[in-house]
Structure 1
């Protein structure tokens, strides 16, 4: 696919160093008149809820208040088999969640990945592994601990919802949506679907890839179809997974088996072309189980479905800008990534941590948290990294979707070279752990 570069405008065009983020915070900003709440967050998914806790949870040092607006009750996303997904959480994301007070609640549900097997598959079962990653984060922040963990979406969402609902500085509006933000001035008037109006210093959109608020605030974006559908579900298997994840690259799309707690259950992400995915979703349980076993190989013994199937069409999205006066995008509203590397929620959490730190520093300095010069620090910190990861995952998907014999031979040669170069393998693992670069304090496990 084509890779697009957006022209930089405003203060970010004059600052190419993420370390200069604090320079924006030193500028004098006009103080907003007293709002009803400091920040409104639209969207109560795992990114929106984490953002609320990062800004106004019990451990947050800045005394900011948050109104979290969500169309459904927050606890609904924590119900068993609510959407079939599981999240691959990088070590840095786990450190952030622990800093937000969720470590104890998540520990029983977090399965560490000890190693990762990568194959370049044919049409049938798995081929011999081309790559075997020892999945330890050996950066100073990681200290040799697992670089990533798998947590079922229901458990992550349940822990986040309970923490948000218990936080005194977070007011939750369930069964509501932000209908129309007004014109930004000293404050922003946010009207809810019920007609209620909330005056706020800052509106944060965590309302997904289609983000109505992104469009309403006039922020341009690129979106594209991947012409793939991901089938996700839990599976039960005969052999213990031993904390091992499998990623089988196939022409229709990746086929990933990700370990869940208990040893004999895993999360499946099976990517197919839309017509084939439709056929698979329409099969009865026995016929689907037969197709599943054909593609799983023999490593896990007999594999059977362990829950309901869910299908998600895959699309990519990238916002040109993440901010406007009194407005910021986070999560999929800013960048929707292909799941081939399992980095979607981790990319969202990097943004959560960066925005929380920028807002906290601005509040301590007495600055206006909704001013563009303050928000520009967040955009400058996160935009390039997000663009690079979105483009990289899209390119990786295109590479492995190409079934040309010569291309296949060249990529297998490349994977084989990576397998033999230990420092390169270690670099990839540490990158996946989210432990490189200019990390916000939350990703180091420190409060903001």
Structure 2
């Protein structure tokens, strides 16, 4: 039988960040993931990228992996431009005017995973089991017994479910979840643009949903996340490349000139999920297993990393009894409150920027311009964007 203090099911960015933080604090940890081990970046850009806030950057710095992540095609964005295609509204942020080196970084998810994986391999306190599944999970008042598919038993003081939106651990323990369909599908792809992106993250609110253009390391290459109505997404995915390029260039209002898609397009439905209960005994949820959110503000990864940072601090300071009930309940209460706030905010923004009702158009146009011209309110938006 193997014994560890924490077993993490799920070796994504959030699960690996938690594992590294615990290992660095001399807490024994095992990561269990059914997929293959993380690999170095390929020559082509990955389709899944994240806008990493300055707060998440601080976590990676404390874990000692930021330099390794930054070296893997991480792209600093120093400007943000948000506009409503259906009105006169626009808001812009500039890092230089805010006395910041940058507003954040656009990073391929695979780059984050690989840097964390490499760092974890150097820690004797960390065991990494990729390509491995659990057969069963049973818990007592003080321990969790995880039996691996090959029959090996693992005893842990705490099991953390970081196994994604369709969490098997969450389902096994019947933790209730609220969800609703955003009635959006997201198309993701890598594109080339006629004009350089100028280290600017752009968001265009269209009647059917937002289009984000995120700068990558090549000045003429960007990643897109185009959230739109399901039927429109199906039309876009059915288009040949030339027709899609025309539709994308028009939707972006030619802010960087003509757009040309590179490689494959992918599409996935967008659903809000929120676990009503994050804790049962010695099993706790985090990341997408606990909450998923609309990508229009790029908050999903950052919210999961905040879960990890909170749990690292809580468990590292739990001196009297490791993973005590009071510690886990405080983690659940604090992180649920933050997730609720962001879910509500995203739903409000989605509703406000959807549709072409004349009154909505007026509110959007006036609202964005007012925010852009009022320093104190704009500062609040900046603080949200950089994760403070």
Counterpart of 1:306 in 2: which secondary structure? strand
How much is the aligned-residue C-alpha RMSD, in angstroms?
A: 2.0
Counterpart of 1:181 in 2: which secondary structure? strand
Q: Distance in 2 between matches of 1:158 and 1:81?
A: 16
1:391 aligns with 2:358: no
Size of the aligned set, in residue pairs, is 387
Instruction: Show the counterpart of 2:121.
Output: 165
TM-score, normalised to structure 2, is 0.94
Greater CA deviation, 212-221 or 90-99? 212-221
Instruction: Show the counterpart of 1:114.
Output: 78
| Residues 269-297 of structure 1: CA deviation (Å, up to 9, x unaligned) | 11111122122222222222222222222
Structure-to-structure mapping, 1:44-83, within 5 angstroms: 44-56=11-23, 60-61=24-25, 63-76=26-39, 79=42
| Residues 228-263 of structure 1: CA deviation (Å, up to 9, x unaligned) | 110011111121111111100112110010111121
Instruction: Show the counterpart of 1:339.
Output: 295
Match among 311, 315, 320 for residue 276 of structure 2: 320
Instruction: Show the counterpart of 1:101.
Output: 64
Instruction: Show the counterpart of 2:168.
Output: 212
Runs (5+) with no aligned partner, structure 2: none
Q: Distance in 1 between matches of 2:44 and 2:160?
A: 28
Instruction: Show the counterpart of 1:130.
Output: 90
8 A contact 1:35–1:201 mirrored in 2: no
In terms of fraction of residues, the more strand-rich structure is 2
User: Post-superposition shift, 1:155?
Assistant: 1.8
Counterpart of 1:397 in 2: which secondary structure? helix
Structure-to-structure mapping, 1:349-368, within 5 angstroms: 349-362=305-318, 365-368=319-322
Match among 158, 176, 186 for residue 230 of structure 1: 186
User: Post-superposition shift, 1:163?
Assistant: 2.0
| Residues 317-354 of structure 1: CA deviation (Å, up to 9, x unaligned) | 01112212111111011111111111000001111000
1:36 aligns with 2:3: yes
Q: Distance in 2 between matches of 1:145 and 1:324?
A: 42
TM-score, normalised to structure 1, is 0.82
Q: Distance in 2 between matches of 1:347 and 1:376?
A: 18
Runs (5+) with no aligned partner, structure 1: 1-33, 436-448
Report the CA distance shift for 1:79/1:219 in structure 2 as closer, same or farther (over 3 A).
farther
Q: Distance in 1 between matches of 2:362 and 2:143?
A: 58
Q: Distance in 2 between matches of 1:111 and 1:81?
A: 15
1:85 aligns with 2:45: no
